[in-house]
Amino acid sequence: MLHRIASVLTKAQVQHARERLAESDWIDGRVTAGFQSAQAKHNIQLPENSPVARELGDMILSALGANPHFMSAALPNKIFPPLFNCYREGHSFGNHVDNAIRPVRGTAVKIRTDLSMTLFLSEPDEYDGGELIMEDTYGNQSVKLGAGDLVLYPSTSLHRVEAITRGQRISSFFWLQSMIRSDEQRRILFDLDQSIQGITTDYPDDPRLVSLTGVYHNLLRQWGEC
């Protein structure tokens, strides 16, 4: 299930990130690609051990932890430290599927990539091209969001970034291991959670809320890994 999540970062946070990234040194983006992906990947990115990447990554993770839509949709267990890339004119990333397992550099931690994320740091009118295209059971989906917005989608999706023909596209990209491995089960839990929240808002004293909440947590208990 694909989720577009608006305003993960505020405009002030986006501006701060852009200023810090403008001061940074970039490297060839293929350093984090697998063998096949490296053949199709043409962009630049911040080194994984960059102090700026760690600083901005902490800011993003803090914002995500306070975002109800993200928490309900992702049910995160472990999150890979956010990375940062830049696509300039002529850059693109051809069709690929993300690596299934990502080791966190400098640690013994390995993360199963259940969900992939792109947090846009450039406004759509700053560049032409650069759409993130996902191929799923509902056909191709094209995503080009505002600065501070995030797209969350299954890492099993075949996806690509279209070539940039004007300007540059700056974003953060990363992955997470969910407590719920199955995309279908995550969808069910998300829909149930959204229904519970809606009923809570409209009918806060409805006694059926206790039963529905119990169903949600019992499904989470049955399906969840932590």
Residue with tokens 């059926």: 208
Residue 93 CB neighbour total at 10 angstroms: 22
Report how far apart the first and last C-alpha atoms of the chain are (Å, whole number).
21
Q: Report the binding-site residues for 2-oxoglutarate.
A: 169
Q: Report the binding-site residues for Fe cation.
A: 96, 98, 159
Residue 102's Cβ-count burial label (10 Å; 0-12, 13-18, 19+) is buried
DSSP 8-class letter at 106:
T
Q: What own/partner pairs with CB < 8 Å and gap ≥ 24 does 19-26 have?
A: 20/52, 20/55, 20/56, 21/46, 21/52, 21/56, 21/84, 21/86, 21/121, 21/170, 23/52, 24/50, 24/52, 26/86
What residue type is 123 in one-letter code? E
What tokens were used for 68?
């109800």
What tokens were used for 54?
């760690």
Q: Report the binding-site residues.
A: 96, 98, 159, 169
What does the chain come to in residues?
Answer: 226
DSSP 8-class letter at 130:
-
